[in-house]
Amino acid sequence: MDLWLEWARGPLFRIAIAFLILGLVRHVAIAVFEIAWAVRRAGDKNIPYRKLARATLAWLVPAGKLGHRPLYGLTTLAFHVSIVIVPLFLGGHIALWARATDLAWPAIPNLLADVLTVIATAAAVLLVIERIAARGPQMLSRFSDYAFPLLIAVVFGSGFLAMHPALSPVAFRPALLVHALGANLILIFIPFSKLSHVILMPLTHLISEVAWHFPPHAGSEVGLALGKENEPV
C-alpha cells in the first residue's frame, strides 16, 4: 500500500502534472496559430474584440448568464469556485509542493477547505443529477459529461476522508490512494478532454466569433435575424 501511495504521489504525479502543463501550453499555442490563420482567412476583419472580452468575463460567472436555470447556474458556480480554490490552496497540498520544490504560498484555513470540499462533492453530484433531470442537456450529454463530475466527486470525497480519518469509515492510506490516483487521472485527462476548457475557455468565444466572419458579416446577419443585434454570436 505504501509503495502504491509513493508511486501515485511520486512518478505518476510527475507524469500527470508535466502532461497537464505541457498539454495546456500546446493547446494554447495551437489555438493561437489557428485563430491567426482563421483571422487571415476571414472575409471581414471587424472582430469585436472588446465585446468578446466582456462576454468572456461575463461567462466566468455563469450564474448570471444562466438566469433561466438559476439552480444549475448556482451549482456550477459553487462547483467551479471550490474545485479551483481547494486543490491550489489547501495547506497540505502546499506543504507537499514546498517539500518537493521549496516553493510555498499562503494557504486557506483548513475549515474553509473542508466546507469547500463538501460543497464541491455535493455540487458535482448535483450537476450530474441536474443533467439527467433536464431534457436538453441530457440529449447533448456524452459519457464523459457524467464521468468527470463523478470522478471529481470521488477525488474530493476521498480527500475529505483522508483529511478527517477519525470520521472516515475507510483507513487513511486507502483513502489517500484513491484520492491521489483519481486526481492524477483528472490531471492527465484535462488536456485530452473537454476539461481543457480550463485554459481554452477564454479563447472559445473568440474562435466562434472568427468562424462567423468567413463569409463577410455572416455573424451579424445571423444576429440580426435572431433579433440579437450587436451581441457577439
Partner 1 sequence: MNQRLRIVKSILWALVGVWTVVSVGRFAHGLGPSTGLSNAAPWGLWIAFDVLGGVALAAGGFVLAAVVYIFGIERYRPLVRPAILTAFLGYVAVAVGLVYDLGLPWHIWHPMIYPQDHSVLFEVAMCVMLYLTVLALEFAPVVLEHPLFSHPFFRGVHTLLKKSTIWLVIAGIILSTLHQSSLGSLFLIVPYRLDPLWYTPIIYILFFISAVGLGLATLIMESLASGWLFGHRMRKDLLSRLGLAASVVLGLYVLVRLADLARHGLLARAFDGSWQANLFLFEMGIGFVLPCILLAVPRLRTSLPGLATGSFLVIFGVVLNRFTVSILAFAKPPGVTYFPTWPELAVSLGVVSGATLIFIFFVEHLKVYSEDDHAHPGEPGYIKPWRPSFDPATLHGLTPEWLAGPRRYSLVAIAGASLAVGLLPRGMLTKPEPLRTPVARARTVEAMQVDHGRGKRVEFRLVGSDAGAPAGVKTVPVMLIDGDRNGRIVFFPHDEIAEKLGGDTACAECHHLNLPFDRNTACAACHCDMYEEADIFNHATHIDHLNGNAGCGRCHDDPSRVKSRATATACVQCHADMIAVEPFLDKSQKETMTGLAPGYMNAMHDLCVACHELKVKENPNEYPASFAQCDFCHGESENIDLQRLGPYVALDKDGANGAATPGRNGID
**Which spans of this chain sit near partner 1 (rule: CB under 8 A)?**
2, 11-19, 22-23, 26, 29-30, 33-34, 37, 91-92, 94-95, 100-101, 107, 109-111, 164-166, 168, 171-172
Smallest gap from residue 91 Cβ to partner 1 (A): 4
Element (H, E) at 155: helix 143-163
Q: Please list the helix, strand and coil fractions of the chain in percent, rounded to the nearest 5, in that order.
A: 80, 0, 20
Smallest gap from residue 58 Cβ to partner 1 (A): 27
Q: Identify which of residues 37 and 49 has a Cβ nearer to partner 1 in the complex.
A: 37
Nearest to 212 by CA among 24, 25, 51: 51
The whole-angstrom separation of Cα 11 and Cα 132 is: 37
Cα 42-47-48 angle, rounded to 5 deg: 165
Q: Identify which of residues 34 and 44 has a Cβ nearer to partner 1 in the complex.
A: 34
Q: Identify which of residues 46 and 110 has a Cβ nearer to partner 1 in the complex.
A: 110
Q: Identify which of residues 1 and 224 has a Cβ nearer to partner 1 in the complex.
A: 1
Smallest gap from residue 170 Cβ to partner 1 (A): 8
8 A C-beta contact, residue 185 and residue 208: no
